[in-house]
Structure 1
Amino acid sequence: MPKQRIMREMILEAAFELARTQGPEHVMVKNIAEKLGCSVQPIYSYYSNMDELKQELADYTGKFFKQYIAEHLDKNDYSRSVGAAYIRLAQTEPHLYRLYMMRKRPDIHSLDDIYRKEGDPKVVQHLSEILNIGFDKAKSLYLNMIIYTQGLSFILATQGPDFGTEEILAQLDEAFKAFVTQAVK
C-alpha cells in the first residue's frame, strides 16, 4: 500500500486540532508529525520554520472565529449577539481563543487597528440606527464594547468553563447600557 502524501492543508488541520484540543503550546513539529503519522520532513518541506506555520495557523483560526461569530449572530441585535458570541467562543474554545486573541499581532499598533481588524461595520451601522447617534459615536461605543468583551472573554478563556457565563453576560449587558448612556449624551 503506497504511503499517504502529506499536503499543506493536512498539516494545518493537524496543527489546528492540536491547538484546539491540547493548547497552542502543543503545536510543535514533532506533535504534528505524530498526529499525521509521518516524519517531520513533510512539514519542513511546506514550512521553513515554526513562525511561518504559526502565522498560517493564526490566520486559519481567525477564519474559524469569523465563521463562528457569523453563525451565532442575531441580525436583530448585532451588538449583543456579537459580544455574546465572543464570550461563548472563549468559553467553548479556550485554547483557540488564547491562540488567536492572546498573541502578539504585528499589524496592531492602536485601538483603531483593533477596530479595523476585529470590528464589523454592520454593527456600527446598526448601533447608529437604533440609537439615533452619529457614526463616530456608534464606532466609539462599539470599540468600547470590543475592548470590554475581549477583557471578559480573556477571563473565561483562562479560568475555564466552570466560570459563570451568565454572570459574564449580565456584566456585558451592564457595560453596554453604560456605554450607550455615554454615547447618547
Structure 2
Amino acid sequence: MPPKILFPREEIENAAFKLFASGGIRNVSVRKIASLLGSSTAPIYSNFSSMDEINKVLTEKALGLLLNYTGRKYTEDPFLNIGVGLLIFARENKVLYRSLFLESNRFQEVFDRLYEENLVRMKQDESLSVFNEDELRSILDKMTFFTLGLAAHLCAGYLKDTSDEWFIKTLYDMGDDVLRATAHKKGKPGCTTPEGGHSRETHHHR
C-alpha cells in the first residue's frame, strides 16, 4: 500500500485561498482543494473539521492581505494611504474584491474589522488629532462610501484611469473636502495641505 501523502496545513490554506482569489468563495470546495494539491480529500479533512473552518481561515487571509495594502506608504499621508491601498487592492484582486464587498454580506466581518483598523490608524494620525472619535467616524464613513464606490466602478471596468496617481489625486481632493467641511461644521481648525504635498497640516485660526 503506497504511503499517504501529507500536506502541511499552510499548503492547504494557500491552495484554498488561490481558489478563492481566482473564482470567489463558491469556487472553494474540499474536492477542488484536493485536486489543486494533486491529492485525495483525506489530507484536507485531517487538517480541517469542516468547510466553515476553511472559510474562517480564508476570511483571515483576505483581511490580512487587504490590511497589507491599506497599510503601505503610498504617500506621506496615512489617512490617504488607506483609501489608495483599497483601490489598488481592488485593481489587483478584482475577483477577491467582488467576493468580499459586492456579492453579499457574508464577509461583513472583513468590512467591520477593516473599518475599525482604519479608525485606529486615523487616531494615530497627528494631522487628524483636532477631531474627536465621533467626527473621525463620520469622516471615515464618508470616505469609505466614496472609496468603495470607486472600487466597484473599477471592478466593473468603468474607470478610464486606474493609475496610482489618479487614485491619489481623486481621494486626496475628496478627503480634503470632507476634512474641511467637518472642520468648518464643528468650528475646528482647518485642515490644509502644503502645496505640492500629500500630507495635511493643521493651521489654527488667529
CA distance 1:44–1:4, change in 2 (3 Å):
closer
Instruction: Give the corresponding residue for 1:20.
Output: 21
Deviation larger for 171-180 or 52-61: 171-180
Q: Distance in 1 between matches of 2:171 and 2:95?
A: 22
Cα contact 2:7–2:43 (8 A) shared by 1:
yes
**What amino acid maps onto 2:127 in structure 1?**
I
Query: How do 1:17-96 and structure 2 match up within 5 A?
Result: 17-70=18-71, 72-74=72-74, 76-96=76-96
Aligned residue number for residue 202 of structure 2:
none
Asked if the contact 1:33/1:39 (under 8 Å) is kept, the reply is yes
Deviation for aligned residue 1:113: 7.0
Inter-partner Cα distance in structure 2 for 1:122 and 1:181: 19
1:172 aligns with 2:171: yes
Q: TM-score, normalised by structure 2?
A: 0.71
Does the Cα contact within 8 Å between 2:119 and 2:140 map onto a contact in 1? no
C-alpha distance 146-162 of structure 1, shift in aligned 2 (>3 A): closer
Percentage of pairs with the same residue: 27
Give the alignment partner of residue 151 of structure 1, picking from 142, 149, 152.
149
User: For residues 160 and 48 of structure 1, what CA distance do their matches in structure 2 show?
Assistant: 39
Matched-pair contact (CA < 8 Å) for 1:145–1:176: yes
Gap runs ≥5 in structure 1: none
Question: What is the CA–CA distance in structure 1 between the aligned matches of 2:113 and 2:94, rounded to whole Å?
Answer: 24
Cα distance in structure 2, aligned partners of 1:140 and 1:104: 24
Distance 2:74 2:55 in 1: 32
Question: Which of 55-64 and 93-102 deviates more?
Answer: 93-102
What residue is the counterpart of 2:189 in the other structure? none
Task: Count residues with an aligned counterpart.
Answer: 178
The higher radius of gyration belongs to: 2
The corresponding residue for 2:191 is none
Aligned amino acid, residue 184 of structure 1: A
Whole-angstrom distance in 2 between the partners of 1:24 and 1:105 = 10
Aligned CA-pair RMSD: 3.0
Structure with more contact order per residue of length (Cα contacts < 8 Å, sep ≥ 6): 1
Letter in 1 for 2:180: T
Secondary structure, counterpart of 2:35 in structure 1: helix
Bigger proportion of residues as helix: 1
The answer for unaligned runs of 5 or more in structure 2 is: 185-206
Q: Is this contact kept in 2: 1:138–1:183, CA < 8 A?
A: no
